[in-house]
Amino acid sequence: MIKKLSFSYKKDGRLNGCRLNLSKDILNFLSITEENNNIIFEYKNDEIILKYGKTLVEQEQKTENGKILLLIKNYKVKFDKVGKYKSPKLVIPLPIINSLGLTEEKKDVVITLLDDAVSIKPNVEGKVDRKGKVYTIKVNKGGVGKTFLTVQLSVGLSLIGKKVLILTSDSQNNVLDYTAPQEHKPIFDSGLKAFVKGEDGDIVRIRENVDFIPLEDSKFSTTFLNNLPKFIEKMKIEYDFVLIDSIPTMKLDTIFVECSDKVIIPCFCDRVTVEGVINVVEEAGIDKVFSIIVNKYRNTTNQNKYLNDLKNVLGETTILLPEPIKELSQIETLLEKGKSVWETNSKGLQEVQDSLIEVIKGM
Ligand SMILES: Nc1ncnc2c1ncn2[C@@H]1O[C@H](COP(=O)(O)OP(=O)(O)OP(=O)(O)O)[C@@H](O)[C@H]1O
Ligand SMILES: [Mg+2]
């Protein structure tokens, strides 16, 4: 996240002090309370690291002209009273502010939550907080087009200037199959599990502004499941949208839905699938369902019956039901080539794009 430092000045205009207001998230993360407010302050390589607790070895190294190279010191988080409220803050020593090159004009810092510490760095790249929205694409039935729709919505969003991350609970990682021809399918060593552990995983750039974090396998430890929401929170700062291609995989799927702002449900117009859709609506809660997208639609008496049933039921809700996406051989051909529906001039796909645009507009 990006935060601004607050500077205070002496009467003669000289810098007097610098503080960083600490949000509840950061305090909770470091287990800091007004009673237990000890913090280890470390500075080196243009980065401040905060950890809860006390160090036995305080250290300081300076260059010949007094610039601080390294500082490890015990500090306390101060809880100032502001009206009725307590405002927790960290006072940052001025020599460190100088070493970091921070000034009134350049007072943005990037705060990153590490394993058991918090990193503070000057915002040299001019990063912005994005407050991304999370959507899970989910239905408890295979082959309905979860992965297809995840990819098309993601690429579509990127084309209107959004930065998108795709996650998945499916270790088959079909997103890679639908976005590159087989002979150019990207290979990866590690992905989501590594990231959640705090290690560097692979992020596959599948299009400009569309990243994909693959899933290594389907074995999930409790630690992984516990830490996953925190990781998704972090990703929301970096991306405008996080789309999750989700298969029913016990606990993981549930966590993905809990972390989502909304759920999108792909659907066939047949009895079994429509029943399955109703199950997901009940599971996720009707308020969480953003859209039900009929996919692989064929204009038959039977499908039209179920389509009408859906229209009637959803007509009374805020759930978006775009024009059904037809079952088209052109879609199969495109996916085989690793292309999206936005990357073709084929006339037949105009309708598919229109349905998806309806959805994207509401996202
Ligand atoms: N509208 C469509 N027209 C034609 N083929 C389609 C359409 N939508 C999806 N497909 C094809 O249907 C198959 C299943 O789609 P997809 O893989 O997206 O489903 P899924 O729900 O992710 O399946 P799984 O549960 O196996 O992950 C794919 O081979 C895809 O090419
Ligand atoms: Mg799939």
Task: Tell me the ligand closest to 140's alpha carbon.
Answer: 1
In this predicted structure, what is the pLDDT of residue 3? 93
CB-CB contact of 3 with 21 (8 Å):
yes
In this predicted structure, what is the pLDDT of residue 24? 86
In this predicted structure, what is the pLDDT of residue 67? 86
Lowest mean pLDDT among 104-113, 174-183, 246-255: 246-255
303 Cβ closer than 6 Å to some ligand 1 atom? no
| Residues 40, 48: Cα–Cα separation, whole Å | 10
Q: Which residue's CA is the closest to the ligand 1 atom numbered 30?
A: 332
Q: What is the pLDDT of residues 46-97, one digit of tens each?
A: 999 999 999 999 999 998 888 899 999 999 999 988 887 888 999 999 999 9
User: How would you classify the pairing of strands 289-294 and 262-267?
Assistant: parallel
CA–centroid distance, 90 to ligand 2, in Å, is 47
139 Cα nearest atom in ligand 1: 21
148 Cβ closer than 6 Å to some ligand 1 atom? yes
* CATH number of the domain located at residue range(s) 133-362 in this protein: 3.40.50.300
Mean pLDDT comparison of 25-29, 42-46, 126-130, highest-scoring range = 42-46
328 Cβ closer than 6 Å to some ligand 1 atom? yes
Task: Tell me the ligand closest to 143's alpha carbon.
Answer: 1
Q: How many CA atoms lie within 13 A of 1 on its CB side?
A: 16
Residue 283 has pLDDT above 90, yes or no: no
| Residues 342, 237: Cα–Cα separation, whole Å | 27
141 Cα nearest atom in ligand 1: 25
In this predicted structure, what is the pLDDT of residue 43? 97
Residue 250 has pLDDT above 80, yes or no: no
pLDDT over 70, % of the chain: 100
3-state secondary structure of 252: helix
| Residues 130, 165: Cα–Cα separation, whole Å | 12
DSSP string, 294-316: E-SB---HHHHHHHHHHHHHHHT
* Ion ligand 2 residues within 5 Å by Cβ: 146-147, 174
Q: Which two tokens stand for residue 201?
A: 């995983």
CA–centroid distance, 149 to ligand 2, in Å, is 9
88 Cβ closer than 6 Å to some ligand 1 atom? no
pLDDT over 90, % of the chain: 77
Best residue among 147, 148, 329 to mutate for probing ligand 1's pocket (most ligand atoms within 8 Å of CB) is 148
Mean predicted confidence (pLDDT) in 312-337: 93
The pLDDT mean for the chain works out to: 93
Residue in the block written with tokens 């399918």: 185
Measured in whole angstroms, how far is the alpha carbon of residue 46 from the centre of its chain?
A: 26
236 Cβ closer than 6 Å to some ligand 1 atom? no
CA–centroid distance, 147 to ligand 1, in Å, is 7
In this predicted structure, what is the pLDDT of residue 110? 95
Q: What is the pLDDT of residues 118-161, one digit of tens each?
A: 999 999 988 888 889 999 999 888 899 999 999 999 999 999 99
297 Cα nearest atom in ligand 1: 1
Kindly report, as residue ranges, where domains of CATH 3.40.50.300 are found in the chain: 133-362
| Residues 48, 100: Cα–Cα separation, whole Å | 9
According to DSSP, residue 92 is labeled: P
Measure Cα distances from 97 to 7, 10, 42, 199 in Å: 10, 16, 13, 29
